[in-house]
Structure 1
Amino acid sequence: MTVKQLSCLFSFIIILFSCNENNRKKVSNAAISDTIAKSIKFNKLKKLFVVGGFDGNGKQDTIFQHNYSKKTNTEIEKSPDPFENDWEIVENWFYNQKADLYLTINKKNQDTLHLGTAQGLYCLINIGDNNQDGKDEIALVIDKLEMSRVNSCKIYSLCNKKWMQLKQFGVHEDSFDFSTNKAPIFGDIKGYLEKQNNKWVFKDYSRQSYENEEEVGKMKLLKLDKCN
Structure 2
Amino acid sequence: MKPRFLIISLLGGSLLVMLCIASCSRKHLDVQVPMALTGKDSLQIKADSLLGKSTPIMGYRFVITGDFDGDKITDTLIERYTDSLYIKEAPKYYTSADTTFEYSDVLFLNSYLEYKSFINWKQKQLRLPGGHLGFHYIENCGDVNDDGKDELMLVNQWGDFSNCNSAHFYTYADGQWEKIYTTPIWEWQFPPTPSASMFPGLFGNFDYGTTDDVADNAALEAQLKAFRFIKWYPDHSVEFNGRNDIGVNGNDAAYAELEKIGDMAYIKKYFRRAVLNDSLYFRRIDNPSIYYRAGGATYNEDGEDVPLLPLDDGASDVTTRIFIRHPQSPFNTTRR
TM-score band w.r.t. shorter chain: 0.7 to 0.9
Q: Quick one: distance in 2 between partners of 1:28 and 1:48? A: 35
The equivalent residue for 1:225 is 332
Query: How far, CA to CA, are the matches of 2:180 and 2:52 in structure 1?
Result: 43
Per-residue CA deviations over 1:132-163 (Å, capped at 9, x if unaligned) read 11111011101111112111111111111111
Q: Does 1:9 align with 2:24?
A: yes
Report the 3-state secondary structure (helix = DSSP H, G, I; strand = E; otherwise coil) of the residue aligned with 1:219. strand
Q: Aligned to 1:37, what secondary structure does the other structure show?
A: helix
Q: CA deviation at 1:55?
A: 0.6
Higher mean C-alpha deviation, range 151-160 or range 206-215: 206-215
In the comparison of the two structures, how many residue pairs are matched? 218
User: Tell me, what secondary structure is at the counterpart of 1:169?
Assistant: strand
Rg comparison, structure with higher value: 2
Cα 1:30/1:60, change in 2 over 3 Å: closer
Unaligned runs of 5+ in 2: 1-15, 193-198, 200-210, 250-265, 268-306, 311-316, 323-328
Q: Secondary structure at the match of 1:74?
A: coil
* TM-score scaled by length of structure 2: 0.54
**Residue 143 and residue 82 in structure 1: after superposition, are their counterparts in 2 closer, same or farther (change >3 A)?**
farther
Distance 1:23 1:209 in 2: 54
1:215 equivalent among 309, 313, 329: 309
Residue 77 of structure 2 is matched in structure 1 by 63
**Structure 1 residue 118 and structure 2 residue 132: aligned?**
yes
Deviation at 1:227, TM superposition (A): 5.6
**Alpha-carbon contact 1:64-1:105 (below 8 Å) kept:** yes
Counterpart in 1 of 2:238? Answer: 200
Q: For residues 41-70 of structure 1, give each alpha carbon's deviation from its aligned partner in whole angstroms, at most 9, with x where no partner exists.
A: 322221101111101111111111111211
Q: Contact 2:56 / 2:93 at 8 angstroms: preserved in 1?
A: yes
Cα deviation code 1:82-120 (max 9, x no counterpart) = 79741121101111221221122242xx15233255111
TM-score (norm: length of structure 1): 0.76
Higher relative contact order (CA 8 A, sep 6+): 1
Distance in 1 (alpha carbons) for counterparts of 2:127 and 2:109: 23
Structure 1 gaps of 5+ residues are: none
